[in-house]
Chains A and B, each alone.
Chain A
Amino acid sequence: MSGIVRLTRRDFLRYTGVGAGALVLGSYISPSGELYAGILDTLENGFPLNAFVNILLDGTFIIFAPRSEMGQGTRSTLAAVLADELEADWSRVKVRQSDADGPRYSKELANPTPGGVPKYPISDELVQFADSSRSITLLFAPMRLFGAGIRTVFERAAARKWGVNTTECRARQHKVYHAASGRSVDYRHLLLQAKKVAVPTPAEATAALKPSKDWTFIGSDKVTPSARFVDVQDMVTGKAVYGADADPHRPGMLTAMIVRCPVANGEVKSFDDTETRKVAGVVNVVKVRLPATLAAGGVGAGFFPHAGVAVVAKNTWAALQGRRALKVEWDLSNLAAENASYDSKAYRGELEELTKKPGKTLRTRGDVDAALAAGKVVKADYYVPHLAQTPMEPPAAVALFENGRFEIWSPTQGPELTQHYVGLAMLKPDPMKLLLWQVTEPDEILKDCEKQEQIEFNELLGTVMGGKSLPELVKLRDELKQEVRDKVKVHVTLLGGGFGRKSKPDYAIEAAFLAREHPGVPIRVQWTREDDIQFSYFHAVSHQHLEAALDGEGHATAWLQRSAFPSFFATLFPPPDYLPAPARPLFSKARSAYHGGGEYPYGASIERAQGLEDMPFDVKDLRIENCPAQNHIRLGWMRSVSNIFHAFSAGSFADELAIEAGRDAKDYLLELIGKGRILDLEAEGVKCFDNNGLPAMKPIGPSAAYPADTRRLRGVVERVAKESGWDEKVKKYKGTKRGLGIAAHRSFLSYVAIVVDVTLNDANELTINEIHGAIDCGMAVNVDRVKAQMEGGMLYGLSYALLGEITVKNGAVEQHNFDDYPVLRIHQAPKNIFVHIMPSTGELPTGAGEPPTPAVAPALANAIVAAGGPRIREIPFFERHEDEGKVPRVKVRVL
């Protein structure tokens, strides 16, 4: 992706416009209509202090939330962090959601500085991207610095006003105090003075950071849940605005529903809208097909939508009725032909066959083959099907096209991604432009191991585009970006859940496409639940093959893991077969240069690094392999992504080994982890390990390292075992139909261990009595939200472990709604959910959104065995008729 602007000297208050604001007021002694416009704008928006904070005349701060809110609480939390350091009175803080504006925020964040601010390793397009559980990880320190820096400005302003030393002035809750004289002054009265003082340097702002004992919100478990939850009142009164609620304040909004081709890369052959047009309220019927793609939506088409036919109507009901009456014939030839034969059942067999042969070796230690030959071998295979994220809010977006410009309202995890793809699709429909976007100067945000790929890509693209040098490509790229940013505005609404589905901008592109068909009229595209389940970017199906050897004392001496899964990067980039021969090297190089995308049909570095390459157990001989897998359906990411199948298999297998060795599962798990160490994956042959985008072993500049430290994994295992009463309960329940299961996993830089306590009755019905989760996330910034994310993430894990499976036949998804894709309901969820947050180990918070999830499924599988039930090695666990008892499962209370 593109490079970021890196300034050599950080001046994050460069944007301090306080003085400029005062000047603006002074200069508006002018007899023109602009007098009122300027003042109204200032009254509403105030004066910018930096890219993240404005101040109104009455001293109210407007803090911008650059990242989307999907329930993880970052909208409120990041503002509250800034407000804490700023010593702002929270009742005088308003939080406003940012539009897509990558350059604005990346400029502010881009500079490496002294004082421990993490180097921001993310490109412009991803600065505002809420994924991979790292909004707090990346933005905690900068938000603190901004708050401390602005507070320093006000303290200096007060000092100047009173003619005293700044050291004598202390800010607290929106006022500056001078203890010696007993004077105080509100921030609102310091606006003019603030213009005249020196802006603190990064070092000065760092020195001004509050010590943790002075925090009033950060890290506090005394803050009530709603004290820093800006939307909670709106959420309980129906005022919160989500995608379908967005109101462009323009008359005549139309709503569209789209019939989409059920097979990836299929096209519309013909359609009959005779009956559709008879439905009252239907205004238009139009084919949806984006010209910018090499293929219609699906495999290799990135985020461009499936081909389809849209019914545009005066209200949602008319659109739905119109859609029901539409007849469409599909062209499933060419690229769609192979996808049309995709059968998930058969594919499972293919994946299993693949794992019978060695794959590409990712990591080696010792001699696993010799160890397997010498010990008692235990083998197991695990299977996780395609899954759908199913956020409560089905995708929906609103778009308006006017005077060559697009305005979008979308519940999106990726505002700039939305802007980028709407722009490319609607303004510059040309696949080469997609590649131009990927030009990056090799010295900027790339890891050393990624640079060569990027250099080669840049050179190849330059050649294909007629012999352009890198500077020329960069100039073309930047012109393209500027045009897209000028012509596409993206507003971000609240998201009714994301879980990875809403990181893809396909539904916003659909809205933009239809908006262009109706210039000047706002168009809302509404997805039904059936659309959401059938046209997701699905969690990748996976087959895992594991082997271990146990010595005479039951200690594991070998660990072989083969992971087969189709890669999401095959959705992003066309597989070679989809391309004419001359284009293949270019797109292949584009894929491998893009965030370590690797080559088709292997996993990308992000996917390999999620529990596979960093398998944490300290086994003397090991080999980790990735088997190739073809892609036939649109894939994407679901909460914790590849950790799901890697943790399910490793966590279950650890338990199987414990049972084989006749040992307590928790003790054995601790033995497998060993006394704990920092994983040196490079030494074991892992190339270009993706540590959630942050340095693993060594700090880079001022950016801290986040090593994989299995001592912390031990820590959460010991904590959760203690809190759940493991030792006493295992003893007490031995031989009964009640049992405990344990598993642990590191993901997104955090460490989580789970204990599940279940009972199985004689009819094989499962009751989950309680679930305990311990998390080490460095430090919990918003303690209540970390607790909520643990509660929610654990339930999310239980839901897919127990229920819901996406199956595909003849290329089309077979599930439709919550009746045939069930998700966890309140009566199925354990009543007792316990969260244990490990004590803070410093000021480097790590993720809490996805980490709670991966260890849940294996812990549950292990608990079921402990309760006398079967060893279930495939997700989901619920019993169904067609199994006829052949596949071990359990019964789950349904509606």
Chain B
Amino acid sequence: MSVFHLHVNGRLYTVDIDGNMPLLWALRDILGLKGTKFGCGVAQCGACTVHLDGRAVRSCSVDVGVACLSKITTIEGLSSDGSHPCQKAWVELGVPQCGFCQPGQIMSAAALLTTTKGADPTDEQIDNAMRGNICRCGTYPRIRAAIHKAAESSS
């Protein structure tokens, strides 16, 4: 057990935990931020996606000891009020069904739009950025459409 300072969504948290604890569990169980979801634990499904310094990472596979070096953004911190272009596009097109994978999907999509600097991604760019995020409800076509819509609205 050691003391770590986690910079999450613009706030500084001080926690006394095992440095091997994956960031996912620190966020959920220690900090009480439950928007980030557990789906597989082995970086296969993307439900746990957060940003470290704006880059999408699977928080189930990043230790607290490593994550504490970066600015962490979770779905709760993507915007204060659901106003991120991805969040708005997701709502407008009715993307979610069960909704469980969507925080991870949105975080991956938001990171993609950061890398394209808001420009509309190609199909291939969407494939590559989003293939790590599984949706069992089958919302993929709406996710694609929402990414395009978000790019359109942020340009």
Interface residues on A, range: 35 or more
User: Is B10 located at the chain interface by the 8 A CB criterion?
Assistant: no
Interface-forming stretch among A51-59, A434-442, A567-575, A825-833?
Answer: A825-833
User: Is A394 located at the chain interface by the 8 A CB criterion?
Assistant: yes
Contacts of A242 in B (CB 8 A): 37, 100
A233 CA / B96 CA spacing, docked (Å): 10
A258 CA / B39 CA spacing, docked (Å): 17
Interface size on B, residues (CB 8 A): 63
When the two chains form their complex, are residues A255 and B35 in contact, meaning their CB atoms are under 8 A apart? no
Contacts of B38 in A (CB 8 A): 244, 316, 394, 526
A529 CA / B47 CA spacing, docked (Å): 12
Contact of A391 among B128, B136, B142 (CB under 8 A): B136
**Contact flags (1/0) for A65-77 with B, using CB distance below 8 Å?**
0000111110000
A34 CA / B141 CA spacing, docked (Å): 54
When the two chains form their complex, are residues B137 and A71 in contact, meaning their CB atoms are under 8 A apart? yes
Known: A238-B103, A245-B34, A529-B41. A795 touches B140 (CB 8 A): yes
User: Is B127 located at the chain interface by the 8 A CB criterion?
Assistant: yes
B102: nearest chain-A partner, CB-CB: A235
Contacts of A318 in B (CB 8 A): 18
Contacts of B39 in A (CB 8 A): 392-394, 529
User: Is A236 located at the chain interface by the 8 A CB criterion?
Assistant: yes
Contact of A70 among B98, B131, B134 (CB under 8 A): B98
Interface-forming stretch among B51-59, B86-94, B113-121?
Answer: B86-94
When the two chains form their complex, are residues A236 and B82 in contact, meaning their CB atoms are under 8 A apart? yes
When the two chains form their complex, are residues A280 and B134 in contact, meaning their CB atoms are under 8 A apart? no
Shortest C-beta distance, B33 to chain A (Å), equals: 8
User: Is A791 located at the chain interface by the 8 A CB criterion?
Assistant: yes
Contact of A817 among B40, B78, B140 (CB under 8 A): B40
Contacts of A788 in B (CB 8 A): 94, 97, 139, 142
When the two chains form their complex, are residues A280 and B18 in contact, meaning their CB atoms are under 8 A apart? yes
A784 CA / B95 CA spacing, docked (Å): 11
Known: A71-B97, A496-B99, A792-B97. A826 touches B133 (CB 8 A): yes
Contact of A497 among B94, B98, B103, B123 (CB under 8 A): B98
A819 CA / B42 CA spacing, docked (Å): 9
When the two chains form their complex, are residues B138 and A794 in contact, meaning their CB atoms are under 8 A apart? yes
Interface-forming stretch among A223-231, A335-343, A537-545, A617-625?
Answer: A223-231
Q: Which B residues are within 8 Å of any A CB, using their own CB?
A: 1, 18, 21-22, 25, 28-30, 33-42, 44-45, 47, 74-76, 78-79, 82, 86-87, 90-103, 106, 123, 126-128, 130-144
When the two chains form their complex, are residues B143 and A826 in contact, meaning their CB atoms are under 8 A apart? yes
When the two chains form their complex, are residues B34 and A392 in contact, meaning their CB atoms are under 8 A apart? no
A217 CA / B130 CA spacing, docked (Å): 34
Contacts of B37 in A (CB 8 A): 242, 392-393, 496
When the two chains form their complex, are residues A497 and B137 in contact, meaning their CB atoms are under 8 A apart? yes
A240 CA / B82 CA spacing, docked (Å): 13
When the two chains form their complex, are residues B29 and A316 in contact, meaning their CB atoms are under 8 A apart? yes
**Apart from A232-B99, A233-B82, A238-B36: 5 A-B pairs, beta carbons within 8 A:** A238-B103, A244-B34, A496-B101, A795-B138, A819-B42
Known: A226-B94, A237-B76. A792 touches B99 (CB 8 A): no
User: Is A796 located at the chain interface by the 8 A CB criterion?
Assistant: yes
When the two chains form their complex, are residues B29 and A255 in contact, meaning their CB atoms are under 8 A apart? yes
When the two chains form their complex, are residues A831 and B98 in contact, meaning their CB atoms are under 8 A apart? no
A753 CA / B82 CA spacing, docked (Å): 38
When the two chains form their complex, are residues B136 and A390 in contact, meaning their CB atoms are under 8 A apart? yes
A528: nearest chain-B partner, CB-CB: B41
Contacts of B94 in A (CB 8 A): 224-226, 229, 232, 784, 788
Shortest C-beta distance, A100 to chain B (Å), equals: 20
Q: List 28 A-B contacts (CB under 8 A).
A: A71-B137, A226-B94, A232-B90, A233-B82, A236-B87, A236-B95, A237-B35, A239-B76, A280-B1, A390-B136, A391-B100, A392-B98, A394-B38, A496-B100, A498-B98, A526-B38, A784-B94, A792-B137, A792-B138, A817-B40, A817-B41, A818-B40, A825-B134, A826-B133, A826-B144, A829-B140, A831-B144, A895-B131
Shortest C-beta distance, A446 to chain B (Å), equals: 34
Contacts of A833 in B (CB 8 A): 141
A234 CA / B79 CA spacing, docked (Å): 13
A795 CA / B139 CA spacing, docked (Å): 9
A827: nearest chain-B partner, CB-CB: B127
Contacts of B35 in A (CB 8 A): 237-239
Contacts of B82 in A (CB 8 A): 233, 236-237
Contacts of B47 in A (CB 8 A): 392
Shortest C-beta distance, A249 to chain B (Å), equals: 12
**Contact flags (1/0) for A775-807 with B, using CB distance below 8 Å?**
000000000100011011111100100000000
Interface residues of A in 267-290 (CB under 8 A from B): 280
